[in-house]
Amino acid sequence: MAKVKLDWFKLDCQNDDKLDLIEAEFGLIGFAVVVKLWQKIYGSEGYYCEWNEDVALVFAKKNGVGANAVSEIIQAAIR
C-alpha cells in the first residue's frame, strides 16, 4: 500500500503576502490556525482533509480556538 500522509512539510522562514495578510487580520492566532490546518491536511491524506461542521468544531477545540474564529480564518484563507 502506498504511503498517503506526509511526515513533515516545508515551512519557509519568510511568509508570503497571503500568510502575512492572515496574520495582519487575525494576529498570531490566524497564523497558528493556518499552520495547524496544514498539519491536519498533510498529516492525513497528504493533500486534503475532510472538512465539515463536526470536524471544524473538534479542530477548534483541539487547538484552543473558538469555532467562529476558525471559520473566519479559513474563509479569509480561501479568499
Q: Which residues of 43-58 are buried (b: 16+ CB within 10 A; e: fewer)?
A: eeeeeebeeeeeeeee
Specify the pLDDT at position 33.
97
| Dist CA 67 CA 19 (whole Å) | 20
Contact 37, 61 (CB under 8 A): no
Give me the residue label for grid cell 479542530.
Answer: 59
Write the pLDDT tens digit of every residue in 25-73. 999 999 999 999 999 998 888 788 999 999 999 999 999 999 999 999 9
The reported pTM is 0.85
Count of CB atoms within 10 A of residue 22's CB?
A: 21
